[in-house]
Structure 1
Amino acid sequence: MAPPLRTRTTLALSLFLVGSALLAGSPAAGAPAAAAPAAAPAPPAPASWTALASGVRYATLDLTTARGPVRAHLVSVDLTHPKVSVDLLHPGEVAGRAPLSELADARRAVAGVNGDFFHVSETQHPGVEATGAAVGPAVADGRALKAAVPDGQRFGPALPKGTSTRDVLGVGYDDRARLGELELAGTVTTPDARLPLGGLNQYALPVGSVGVFTSDWGAASRLRATCGTDTSRAAPCSTETYEVTVRSGRVAAVAERPGRGPIPEGTEVLVGREAGARELRRLTVGEPVSVRHRLVAERSRVPYRFAVGGFPVLRDGSPLGGLDRVASAVRSAAGVGPDGRWLLLMALDGGTEFRSGLSVAELADLMRSLGARDAVNLDGGGSSTLVTRSPGAHAVTVRNHPSGGAERRVPNGIGVFVHR
């Protein structure tokens, strides 16, 4: 594949991409204008793009900032193309991680970018292991894999005002991308009570709640779910916990402390802390228990076929207020064009020459300049990775240089697929 043309422009802290032909809505940019209907989504700067497949293109963009040069790796996805789809890349376990290239190759994706922030370390609670599970909700092929941890338990930069760990970017069953929120709705019904469900395959449960772990969780310990509080990740682990194993709709086992190990299909493990633990303690082996759960889209009537956690930086063509303009880093992002018919994936290069990165505010400006109407910030730093598969190739190529010198193992990513 011939290398894509590279466009160099100037990035000023006060005004992004001044005079550049990549400004959103500029006829020269080729990006869909915010005010016009997106009848045929078009990526920005079409001369600089190289086709990976029909409806999927790759390019690089070089910028100059006050801190130094920055290179962005981009993938443009036409969601109106009948053979193009987007789905979650994941290792098969919520509490599992793998390099993005392995996740993409396992699914034969033509492109992908890393996804959500995750439980990367555990230093506050001796003897408790990091699970590697993502922060926010995750939906793969229409299947809800997990819900969001409390805001105070997340990893990553400070959340912008008006956002939460429940925020996602996804694609609905109408094949349109959108930003939204996914709220867990669920109950645990016992012979004596009907309890609200506070978590689904999460590394942190709300104080006083009951959470459920399914076979999607994996083999990692469930103990971490009872550590910290809704406002502090570093708060001590709860001293009042209880675990109930439910098999075929009945209590199969109970334990004072959350355990670990694979959960078989057809089995659910309930973990309670504080008030939730006291409720579960009422149950005895053999009693009937019913667990129901689903993720509800707060801002859309169309269910998500795919969704990944990430906090919004751009909504309706405007950056969110209060975005940080000081701290720069290597970052990843995903943007949505008008009407949700066009998706842009982006990862900055982490090589020595380009490691100065962008602030969150600059990231929002960049995504807007490339034609995105809405955008989310994904996990960055050593996690930022973008891969593509050239036509005829059997494996993907890592396009950017991860800042850690090699791919980091991540819990999920956004995968682009072309079907025959």
Structure 2
Amino acid sequence: MTTTPYRFGLSRAAAATLAALALLLAPTGQATAADPALPLGDADLAETRTSQTLADGVTLTRIGRGTEPAPADQINTTTRGPWVVNLLTIDPRRTRGHLAATYGPDLARTERTTDLVRTSGALAGVDASFFTFTASAQYPGDPVGLGLYGGRLLSEPTGDPAEADFVVDARSNRAVMGKLSWSGSVQNRQTAASLPLEFLNHPPVVPAACATLTDQTECSEPGDVVRFTPEFAEATPSGAGVEVVLDRRGCVVRTSTSRGTTLTDGQTSLQATGRDTAALLEVAGQGCLRIASALTDEQGEKLAVRPGLFGVNGRYRLTADGQIVVPPGSGSFFARNPRTIAGTTRDGRIVLATIDGRMTSSVGTTMDETAAVAHALGLRDAVNLDGGGSTTMSVEGALVNRPSGTAERPVGDALVFIDGAYHASGN
């Protein structure tokens, strides 16, 4: 843990932007009656709030609660703070821009939030989905849950009951939250033979009992069936199994008894491991396939995946219909950490928030404290996005908050606000 300021290799323009933000967001006054104090720590803590308008209908607010640095050994227990919270508020009734989700050169790689904001031409943004993350992973940016970008479903929601998804329509800036479910299948158009899909753009696992088999069709253990698109990576995952490449019509272009290939524009592929390899080969044949994919909400209603729809995954709802709903829990995830929040107010405003943590200058929040903050900010519905070392807010490619690591962590994707109308050909 460090208590010294971070220094990053920012461009001169980004550094100037950051300096301007620091000046504009310097604490200048106490919270007013219109802004109730955050329910963090002792009631007598001083709290300051400052705001600036970034664009029509878009404001950036900085909240500081508590003034004295925390003792390093009391970060997880102190009731004196301090806490630093940054809020990006978007009013759909007044803005000319739109909220979207974006990732780097491909889905499997990671990029810094500041870079994602800059390269997407966004005004501001925050880190978003939980992702594979580990430095040793071949595909560290692979989302662990929902990944929906401009109406293209590139990663399916998991069966984990803790997953909570944030979906926004960029054409209206209307956002909804909840646990989505997914089902997929592949069917031969001529024979009607079908096979369930298990994943979208996730490396399949070879069953441990068949790990030494070069020919996976000899395996008697169930494996995985996965659909890959060109957005995943430069090449599909390699290894034992089978792969069937399809053209844009869904017709078989080639079949291989090992996995790993480069997809051209318009192509997709199906990979299988374990005994599912034989099933895929039987279904695919040399024909044309129909791919079915459906997202449903908690009420079982189908969510139409259309241009302009973006979605990212989080872990746990914080509020629902104005009530705190975060479940009880223990362990490091529920302890004090940096946090990233996405939510909506009763009148439809979208709020993206970061809470710095794991530092003497801002101690972070537990899951209970995070939910209490979301509720106090007036978020009728809110989701806990990826946090910890990923928690980052950027304006015009410059850091607004202070990440907890020694450098800004590359992430899988980001929620970004672009100050212009949405066009289906891009953000």
Report what 2:54 is aligned to: 52
The amino acid across from 2:415 in the alignment is: I
The correspondence of residues 4-403 of structure 1 with structure 2, limited to 5 A, is 4=25, 6=27, 11-12=39-40, 18=43, 48-64=50-66, 65-66=78-79, 68-121=81-134, 129-151=138-160, 163-165=161-163, 167-172=164-169, 174-190=172-188, 191=191, 193-203=193-203, 208-219=223-234, 221-222=236-237, 241-247=241-247, 248-259=249-260, 261-282=261-282, 286-299=286-299, 303=304, 305-311=309-315, 312-324=317-329, 327-339=335-347, 341-350=348-357, 352-389=359-396, 396-403=397-404
User: Are the equivalent residues in 1 in contact too, given 2:203–2:237 (CA < 8 A)?
Assistant: yes
- What SS does structure 1 have at the residue aligned with 2:180? strand
Name whichever of 283-292 and 359-368 sits farther off: 283-292
Mapped contact 2:204–2:273 kept (Cα < 8 A): no
**8 Å contact kept, 1:149–1:203:** no
CA distance in 2, matches of 1:218, 1:90: 12
What is the deviation of 1:63? 2.6
TM-score by length of 2: 0.73
Are the counterparts in 2 of residues 212 and 271 from structure 1 also a CA contact under 8 Å? Answer: yes
In structure 1, distance between residues paired with 2:204 and 2:345: 33
SS in 1 for 2:82: strand
Question: How far is 1:415 from its partner?
Answer: 0.5
The CA deviation at 1:176 is 1.6
Q: Distance in 2 between matches of 1:332 and 1:130?
A: 23
Normalised to the residue count of structure 1, the TM-score between the two structures is 0.74
* SS of the residue 1:400 aligns to: coil
Alignment check: 8 A CA contact 1:133 1:203 kept:
no
| Runs of 4 or more consecutive aligned structure 1 residues displaced over 6 Å after TM superposition | 19-22
Q: Which letter maps to 1:183?
A: S
**Alignment deviations for residues 188-207 of structure 1 (CA, whole Å, 9 cap, x no partner):** 11235122222222346796
Deviation by residue 1:373-413 (Cα, 9 ceiling, x = unmatched) = 11111111211100113xxxxxx211111111222111111
The letter for the 2-side match of 1:333 is I
Distance, in Å, in 1 between the alignment partners of 2:412 and 2:40 is 34
Cα RMSD of the aligned pairs, angstroms, is 3.2
User: Does the C-alpha gap of structure 1 residues 63 and 223 become closer, same or farther in structure 2, counting only changes over 3 Å?
Assistant: farther
CA distance in 1, matches of 2:44, 2:238: 54
CA contact (8 A) 2:336 2:358 kept: no
- SS of aligned partner of 2:374: helix
Q: Is the 8 A contact 2:92 2:172 kept in 1?
A: no
CA separation of 1:205/1:61 partners in 2, compared to 1, >3 Å: closer, same or farther? farther
**Residue 187 of structure 1, CA deviation:** 2.3
Residues 3 and 121 (structure 1), Cα distance of their counterparts in 2 relative to 1, 3 Å cut: same
1-structure distance, mates of 2:55, 2:135: 41
- The secondary structure found in structure 2 opposite 1:362 is helix
1:333–1:252 CA distance, 2 compared to 1 (3 A): same
* Partners of 1:144 and 1:295 within 8 A in 2: no
Aligned-partner Cα distance in 2 for 1:50–1:313: 26
Question: What amino acid sits opposite 2:133 in the alignment?
Answer: V
Q: In the TM superposition, what whole-angstrom CA distance separates every residue of 1:126-181 from its partner, at most 9, and x where no partner exists?
A: xx734421112122222222212453xxxxxxxxxxx343x311223553211033
1:211-232 Cα shifts (integer Å, max 9, x gaps): 21011212255359xxxxxxxx
Deviation at 1:363, TM superposition (A): 0.6
Paired residue type of 1:373: R
How far residue 93 of structure 1 moved from its aligned partner, in angstroms, is 1.8
> Which amino acid counterpart does residue 312 of structure 2 have in structure 1?
V
Larger Rg: 2
Letter in 2 for 1:338: R
